[in-house]
Amino acid sequence: MLLVSVTFTSCTAGEAEAETDGSDAEPVTWQPRAEVVRAHLFDDDADGQAAFARVKGHFEAANPGYAMEFLAAATRIAADASNRLVFVQAPVEEAPAAAEIHTASGATPTELHIGDIAVLGPGERLTVEPEIAALVFGVPDTPGDGVPAAIRPDWNPDITDVPGGCATETGAYRRILLTWLEQNGPYTFQGLNAHRVRITDSFTHYHPVDTGFDEFYLVQMSNDQDRLLTSYRAAAIESPETMTPELAAQLFDVHDVRAGDLIYLPRGVIHRGLGGVLAQVITVPGFRPGAEIGVDHHLLAINERLGLEGEDALPYNVEASTGPIVR
């Protein structure tokens, strides 16, 4: 199941000016740098396999040296020469699985449950009983000595709720597993970052193509209200003075979200999560400081300039709309 549109109305300055002048601008095919793609990890039919292959292909092409695979039912992950991060996606409600991470110096016992990460270095392997489902990233860099063999955000007292980013409300569930800066969490790694967060009403933002990062939502719990807004039109949104009602109506795609989804958000794509989705938010290479660019103030400006109200108004995060946000 794919979340992707392949034909858009161009919103270059020239077309916006033509519509403002009252002439009829013809829709044209517009292809984004990279597509937003969703795979439901537990759809093992041909469509599901094709969707995951697209996620994998887009991601690996954009990030040389990285690899991705999904294991739907694994009791062991064999050793190889790479560094790997194993994101556990099941079991969900059952008791944690008993696991051992085997290294040159012996076996480290642990438990693994949804939301946990097992860290495997070159030559290291994992055994687990009963079976788990896991998304596995191969990464070109080696996590530092301070990164443990298992990162367990709901069981590790060093990992506590840190509101911010996509969940700024007081008491928000947001636990940082791997971070770019050591002041943000106990375990640093700049090859890949991850935090587990319940997203109720995030601010609308993107990560720049040149200095940002690719992002995944690995959805672990959801409800009927969960949805994701995306837009390829950062340049148009950041130029409210050129916006027209016709272009405004085409800015966002709205996607339903369900547990088990893996959603790929390439650099440059605007996105906003709503409804209460619980996800591992995974970034490659990591949450570089200054690479989260908010656009809610622009969305508010567009609404005010065009007089958009009610169902015609562009959705925006009220708290984040008072001025520019760069994090």
325 in a domain, yes or no? no
Q: Please say which residue of 102, 128, 152 terminates a domain.
A: 152
Q: Please say which residue of 152, 182, 210 terminates a domain.
A: 152
CATH number at residue 140: 2.60.120.10
302 in a domain, yes or no? yes
**Quick one: which of 66, 70, 30 has its CA closest to 53?**
70
Cβ pair 293, 231 in contact under 8 A: no
326 in a domain, yes or no? no
Number of structural domains the chain divides into? 2
Q: Is residue 165 domain-shared with residue 227, that is, in the same domain?
A: yes
Cβ pair 264, 218 in contact under 8 A: no
What length is written for the chain? 327
Quick one: pLDDT at residue 33?
58
Q: Is residue 71 domain-shared with residue 58, that is, in the same domain?
A: no
203 in a domain, yes or no? yes
Q: Is residue 101 domain-shared with residue 120, that is, in the same domain?
A: yes
Quick one: pLDDT at residue 305?
97
Q: Is residue 7 domain-shared with residue 91, that is, in the same domain?
A: no
- Tell me whether strands 67-77 and 106-112 are parallel, antiparallel or unpaired: unpaired
223 in a domain, yes or no? yes
Cβ pair 40, 258 in contact under 8 A: yes
169 in a domain, yes or no? yes
Q: Which residues of the chain have pLDDT under 50?
A: 1-32
Quick one: pLDDT at residue 290?
92
Quick one: pLDDT at residue 56?
97
Q: Please say which residue of 94, 120, 152 terminates a domain.
A: 152
Q: Is residue 50 domain-shared with residue 193, that is, in the same domain?
A: yes
327 in a domain, yes or no? no
Q: Is residue 175 domain-shared with residue 235, that is, in the same domain?
A: yes
Q: Is residue 277 domain-shared with residue 191, that is, in the same domain?
A: yes
Q: Is residue 225 domain-shared with residue 283, that is, in the same domain?
A: yes
Rg of the chain on CA atoms, in Å = 21
- 194: containing domain: 1-62+153-320
297 in a domain, yes or no? yes
Q: Is residue 221 domain-shared with residue 234, that is, in the same domain?
A: yes
**Quick one: which of 304, 297, 230 has its CA closest to 268?**
230
How much is the pTM? 0.87
Q: Is residue 222 domain-shared with residue 305, that is, in the same domain?
A: yes
Q: Is residue 54 domain-shared with residue 188, that is, in the same domain?
A: yes
Quick one: pLDDT at residue 88?
98
Q: Is residue 175 domain-shared with residue 233, that is, in the same domain?
A: yes
Quick one: pLDDT at residue 170?
64
Quick one: pLDDT at residue 168?
76
